[in-house]
A and B are shown apart, each in its own frame.
Chain A
Amino acid sequence: MLWGEKQIIQFYALKVRLFLLTLIIVFFLIFSWLYKMQIVEGDYYTQRAENNFLDIVQVSAKRGNIYDKNGNVLAKNIPAFNLYIIPKFLDSETVDFLKNSIKLTDEQQNELNSSLKQKKKDSFMLKEHLSSKELALIESRMFRLNGLDIVTESIRHYPNSSITAHIVGYINKITPKEFQEKKDLGYLNDDYIGRTGAEGYLEDYLHGKNGKKIVIRDQSGKIKKDGFLQQLIDKKNKEFSPVEEGNDVYLTLDLDLQKEIDEIFFNVRSGAAVVMDVDTGDILALYSKPTFDPNRIILKDDKNYLKEIFKDELQPTLNKAFKQFYPGSVFKLVTALAAVDSGNFTEDETVDCKGVEEYGATSFRCWKRTGHGSVNLKKAIAESCDVYFYRVAKKIGLDEINKYAKMIGIGSNYSDFITDVPSGFVPNEKWYRERYGRYQKGTALNTSIGQGDVYLSPFKIAEIYMTTANLGVRKQINLLERVVGFDGKERYDRKIIQKTTEISPYSFQKVNKGLYSAINDPNGTAYYFRLNDVLVSGKTGTAQVASKTSDEYDFEIPWNLRHHAWFTSFAPSYKPEIVVTVLVEHGGSSSTAVPLGMKIIKAYETLKSKRIHAQFIKERTKMEAKRESLLYGDLIE
């Protein structure tokens, strides 16, 4: 049959209708599918879409800086690059790359492997403080890597490293237990927490509050900065509590003095120095030797270093200024106070020193075998006559010494933030009875010269001598001077707090005469080291560690059996400004400690006059400028 145009049209009309029918079905399918997606499951898709590109990350608050009283930096933050893993985006290629190019511990490798399997895990920090080499390697390959994030955070840095290591302290990773306790205070599970020194005491001021924020991630898990979406998530971010940066703190320390002390202690193997302001109770310097580098503890780049400093028998990480030692002769101050204040001894009452004092069957020796002859209170302190104090102890008994020790502040702490310092120990009769079952009266004699069971830290001795310099006014010891919030507001109201001891100021005056003579009287124990331009009052001390015969020289016996050398002083004598306490552990005799103390006083005076001079120059320049503008101001205009 031959088809005409009409048949052709009819033939095609049928096919076209079939085609049209198919089309209608397909369009209806698309229509209903769109209805399902947009109307029925619209919220689900919105949620899925947001989950897919929005991610909640933690924002760590910046830790506050630590400054000294003059604004010198003691601790600050420097930028560090941390590697984060977002398991949702991680692929095996990236994992292989990381394993090959970055130093990872076994633990980190396991973490990496497990996050490849568990895609739903939250993002976490894999490695902290990437080296610049590692950073460059990752950045150069970043466009091919998925599920990685390099976050610029900060690392703690101590510019003066070992010089201020003990008093500024260091920070460390929070332990899981601590984290459970402090979770609500805005800590993160891999957060840092102040461990020792000011970092520890002032943790609440320094540590800010961490927060959370929403970020946008692209297909490979990298954080995307997009102006349009930013507005959207900014709204959502308002629901989170904001990040609170840590506050900056200003310590009472004087960094320049601390540095001087570090140099003065150049030859000392082990020891400590404490300098306090007599008027305010501020700690001006606190130094302990041997010391360590806190930056290396934080970096953890060298495991041997950590082992080294924690295994060292000299205990570099231990703050020797807070460690208790036998005080030796520096304790005689307390015995002397007990003697005059209780009324048992008058200032001028003399004791005949023959170099030895018999008590029962035991003979107690004076350090000077030939004896001091006739000794009154002033001479006893100046020449550190043991026999005088034996007599005192005999007469007033152990409990009286203990009582006065308590009155002057031993056994109690009086400080703004320093809590971990031992408060010192002086025994009484009851303590001996409880401990040994009986009390031997001879122990009072040992106690009177700071031996036996008396334990005091350099910090405590400085405190006692500060109270003496203030004639019985006990000042609260301060470490914190100012707290400046991240918004520039002052957060701390500093006060000078003091209380008066029950000991009469006259008794202190009497004792102070002895302390003055110890340095300025030709027979005084520290006369040889006196300073030309500053009058210093003080007391030397040589504390026995193990009994030795007097014939032996220091270099003949092992280091750790040698005596501790003490020197504590305040200066200037007539209007005390600072108290300086120096301990040289196993220094042999006090003559190793005294020159150090004197140098510290000298350094303080030099610094003071330098600052006054600088201030003077500044004022003068200002005045000259003013004068010039008054004279020639019109001409210049």
Chain B
Amino acid sequence: MREERGFFKNLNWITIFLTIIISILGIANLYSLQINTTESVWISQLGWFILSVITLFLVASIDYRIFSEIAIPLYIINIVLLIIVLFFGTTVNGSTRWIDFGIFRYQPSESMKLVLALVLARYFSIFQNSKIGFKELIAPFLLTLFPAFLIKIQPDLGSAAILFVELFIILFMVRINIYVWLISFLLFIIIIPIMWFFILDEYHIKRIEAFWNPEKYAQTTAYQTLQSQFAIGSGGMSGKGFTKGPISKGGFVPEQKTDFAFSVWAEEFGFKGSITLIFIYFIFIFSLIHSIQYSTDHFGILLSLSIIAYIVSQIVLNLLMVTGLFPVIGVPLPLFSYGGTNMLITMTSIGMIMSLYSRRFFFSYLK
């Protein structure tokens, strides 16, 4: 009972529509921030947006099972790129994250999030009929640890953390023995102090201290998160109006183009605007998850799950961070924050889910 429909008719248009809406809101947000200034990154973001949408449709038209084949080569290429970044990367604000290609800069740590999702999906799709024990967990752990380490020393703790969150969510999803869970939990508790001393730098610890006691570090470490909270809070019910937020326009929130873009939005559109944006995100996430049930094979399920895992974890961590509910780690708000690579990779990921969704009628086990 094949139901052949046109390619465009098979796409999940709600997801695509929401993707475009969020991106356009993000560009408008950048425009509002930089009106009457010499900077105009919103134009370059617009360029990335057009490129990303094209990529989305291109990827959606490809059979997703190919990604299973090319997962490992992509992983290797990405690791190489990460190593290149360490030696030849462009440094901004003390972090070496970009490879400069002249007209644009590429951030391999962003694509690593997607490539890891591919690799993990491919790996776990093997275990269709058996439960996973400790031995089987060593490989995915190392596969995550190595790029996370490379990203951590850029330094970019946020992206490194996202990789682990991705792994964690996938592990939560797959069939793992309950004792493995218990022991992992114990290990995790043991690891925390080790993390404290070895993984976290001094400024990360300071940030965590500042998170618990922001007033004490009001002018130093907690400045960013406090200013962000001031901006969001002062938005009130309806906000200061488009292009009229004093705190944002004054440039008081550091990184307000990228990680803290939400604070600009919340100041200018108030509670109504921020709730609307969050609601759009929620529907967007829901529509992504909704696509999973049309997955037709194990790899497809795992791929969409891990993609959703890293997109959702970025959204949630960013919102928590911006509103002061979580210590500051550099995580962008997908599609909304300024950042070309992030937008391209996010849309590529959505394109993969669309590819999966549009082929739901080819292999229907369920219906």
Which residue of the partner chain, among B234, B249, B266, contacts A34 with CB atoms under 8 Å? B266
- Contact indicator B289/A49 (Cβ below 8 Å): no
A interface footprint on B214-226 (CB within 8 Å = 1, 0 otherwise): 0000111001001
Q: Is B320's CB under 8 angstroms from A228's CB?
A: no
Q: Whole-angstrom distance between the alpha carbons of A272 and B142 in the complex?
A: 97
**B278, A31: Cβ atoms closer than 8 Å:** yes
The residue that A49 contacts in the complex, of B231, B270, B285, with Cβ under 8 A, is B231
Q: Judge if A5 is at the interface, Cβ distance under 8 Å.
A: yes
Residue from B172, B226, B235, B252 in contact with A38 in the complex, judged by beta carbons closer than 8 Å? B235
Name A216's contact: one of B173, B250, B275, B366 (CB within 8 Å). Answer: B250
Stretch in A40-48, A61-69, A338-346, A428-436 touching the partner: A40-48
Query: Is the Cβ of A226 less than 8 Å from the Cβ of B219?
Result: no
Query: Does the CB pair B319–A218 fall under 8 Å?
Result: no
Q: Counting CB contacts under 8 A, is B232 at the interface?
A: yes
- Minimum Cβ distance to chain B for residue A35 (Å): 7
Q: Given the interface contacts A41-B233, A44-B233, does A8 sit within 8 Å of B301 by beta carbon?
A: yes
Interface centre among B223, B233, B270 (most CB of A within 10 A): B233
Interface presence of B230 (CB below 8 A): yes
A224 within 8 A of B: yes
Interface presence of B15 (CB below 8 A):
no
Q: How far is the CB of A85 from chain B (nearest CB, A)?
A: 14
Q: How would residues 94 to 116 of chain B score, 1 for a CB under 8 Å from any chain A CB and 0 otherwise?
A: 00000000000000000000000
Contacts of A5 in B (CB 8 A): 296-298, 365-366
* A227 CB contacts on chain B under 8 angstroms: 36
CA distance A30 to B366 in the complex (A): 36
A52-B246 in contact (CB<8A): no
Closest residue of chain B to A220, judged by CB? Answer: B219
CA distance A11 to B298 in the complex (A): 11
Q: A6-B365, A42-B234 are in contact. Are A12 and B229 (CB under 8 A)?
A: no
The reply to whether B247 and A42 contact each other, CB–CB distance below 8 Å, is: no
Complex interface bits, A3-21 against B, C-beta within 8 A gives 1, otherwise 0 = 1111011011101100110
Cα(A219)–Cα(B285), bound, Å: 37
Chain B minimum-CB-distance residue to A34 = B274
A493 CA to B205 CA, complexed, in Å: 72
Judge whether B236 and A38 touch: CB under 8 Å.
yes
- Find out whether the CB atom of A49 lies under 8 angstroms from the CB atom of B230: yes
Roughly how many angstroms separate A449 CA and B83 CA in the complex, as a whole number? 108
Asked whether A33 and B323 contact (CB < 8 A) given A38-B237, A42-B236, A52-B227, the answer is: yes
**B233 is contacted by which of A12, A29, A49 (Cβ under 8 Å)?**
A49
B271 within 8 A of A: yes
A residues in contact with B220, CB < 8 Å: 91
Interface residue B325 (Cβ < 8 Å from any Cβ of A): yes
Contact of B232 among A13, A34, A229 (CB under 8 A): A34
Complex CA–CA separation, A3 to B298 (angstroms): 11
Q: Roughly how many angstroms separate A305 CA and B216 CA in the complex, as a whole number?
A: 48
Contact A33 B325 (CB under 8 A): yes
Task: Using known A-B contacts A3-B128, A45-B232, determine if residue A219 contacts B223 with beta carbons closer than 8 Å.
Answer: yes
* With A38-B232, A45-B232: A224-B169 Cβ-Cβ less than 8 Å: no
| Cβ B252 vs Cβ A219 within 8 A | yes
- Known contacts A2-B129, A3-B129, A30-B323; is-contact A38 B230 (Cβ 8 Å): no
Given the contacts A9-B301, A29-B325, A34 and B278 also touching, CB distance less than 8 Å: yes
Q: Does B16 contact A (CB under 8 A)?
A: no
Determine how close the nearest CB of chain A comes to the CB of B97; give it in whole angstroms.
Answer: 23
A20-B120 Cα distance, complex, nearest whole Å: 21
> Are A37 and B173 in contact, with the CB atoms below 8 A?
no
> Which residue of chain A lies nearest to B297 when distances are taken between CB atoms in the complex?
A5
B345 to chain A, nearest CB (A): 21
Once the chains bind, are A46 and B271 in contact (CB under 8 Å)?
no
- B172 nearest CB neighbor, chain A only: A15
The CA of A16 and the CA of B174, in the complex, are separated in Å by 11
Interface size bracket, A side: 35 or more
**Nearest CB of A to B49, in Å:** 25
- Do the beta carbons of B319 and A30 come within 8 Å of each other? yes
CA distance A11 to B174 in the complex (A): 9
CB of A39 within 8 Å of the partner chain: yes
B343 located at the interface, meaning its Cβ lies under 8 Å from any Cβ of chain A in the complex: no
Q: Which of A2, A34, A224, A226 counts the most B-chain CB atoms under 10 A from its CB?
A: A34
221-254 of chain A: CB within 8 A of chain B? 224, 226-229, 232
Q: Does more than half of chain A's interface fall in helix, strand or loop, or is it mixed?
A: helix
A229 in contact with B249 (CB, 8 Å):
yes
Known A23-B285, A23-B316: A34·B275 in contact at CB below 8 Å: yes
A89 touching B232 by the CB < 8 A rule? no
CB–CB A38/B293 < 8 A: no
Q: Which residues of B contact A26 (CB under 8 A)?
A: 316, 320
B301 lies within 8 A of A12 (CB): yes
B237 to chain A minimum Cβ distance, whole angstroms, is: 6
Q: Are A11 and B230 CB-contacts (below 8 A) given A39-B271, A228-B249?
A: no
Task: Knowing A8-B301, A30-B320, A33-B323, say if A20 contacts B289 (CB, 8 Å).
Answer: yes
A16 close to B230 (CB less than 8 A): no
Question: Which residues of chain B from 34 to 70 have a CB within 8 Å of any chain A CB?
Answer: 36
For residue B204, which residues in chain A have a CB less than 8 angstroms away from its CB? Answer: none
CB-CB contacts below 8 Å: B282-341 with A: 282, 285-286, 289, 292-293, 295-298, 301, 305, 312, 316, 319-320, 323, 325
Contact B233 A45, beta carbon cutoff 8 Å: yes
Does B206 count as interface, using CB distance less than 8 angstroms? no
B window 156-176: CB within 8 A of A: 169, 172-173, 175
From B173, which residue of chain A is reached at the shortest CB distance?
A: A15
Nearest-Cβ distance from residue A627 to partner chain B, whole angstroms:
59
Answer whether residue A310 sits at the interface, using C-beta atoms and an 8 A cutoff: no
Instruction: List, in ascending order, chain B residues with CB within 8 A of A30's CB.
Output: 278, 316, 319-320, 323, 325
Give the Cβ gap from B260 to chain A, nearest Cβ, in Å.
14
Return the chain B residue nearest A218 by Cβ: B252
Residues of B within 8 A of A46 (CB): 230, 233-234, 236
- A27 CB within 8 Å of chain B: yes
Within 8 A of B (CB), among A134-181: 146
* Cβ-defined contact, B323 with A37, below 8 A: yes
| Residue pair A48, B230 in contact (C-beta under 8 Å) | yes
Determine if A88 is an interface residue (Cβ-Cβ < 8 Å).
yes
Instruction: Say which residue of B227, B231, B250, B296 sits within 8 Å of A226 (CB atoms).
Output: B250
In order of increasing CB-CB distance, the 3 nearest A-B pairs are A45-B233, A49-B230, A46-B234
Q: Which residues of A come within 8 Å of B, CB atoms? A: 2-6, 8-9, 11-13, 15-16, 19-20, 23, 26-27, 29-31, 33-35, 37-39, 41-46, 48-49, 52-53, 88-89, 91, 146, 216, 218-219, 224, 226-229, 232
Other than the given A12-B292, A39-B271, A52-B218, 17 more pairs (CB < 8 A) read A5-B297, A5-B298, A9-B295, A15-B173, A16-B305, A23-B312, A33-B323, A37-B232, A42-B237, A44-B233, A46-B236, A48-B233, A49-B233, A49-B247, A224-B250, A226-B249, A228-B250
A-B pairs with beta carbons under 8 Å apart, 16 shown:
A12-B173, A23-B316, A34-B232, A34-B271, A34-B275, A37-B323, A38-B235, A38-B237, A38-B274, A45-B230, A45-B232, A45-B234, A48-B233, A49-B234, A219-B252, A229-B249
Binding site for A on B (CB under 8 A): 36, 128-129, 169, 172-173, 175, 218-220, 223, 226-227, 229-237, 246-247, 249-252, 254, 266, 270-271, 274-275, 278, 282, 285-286, 289, 292-293, 295-298, 301, 305, 312, 316, 319-320, 323, 325, 365-366
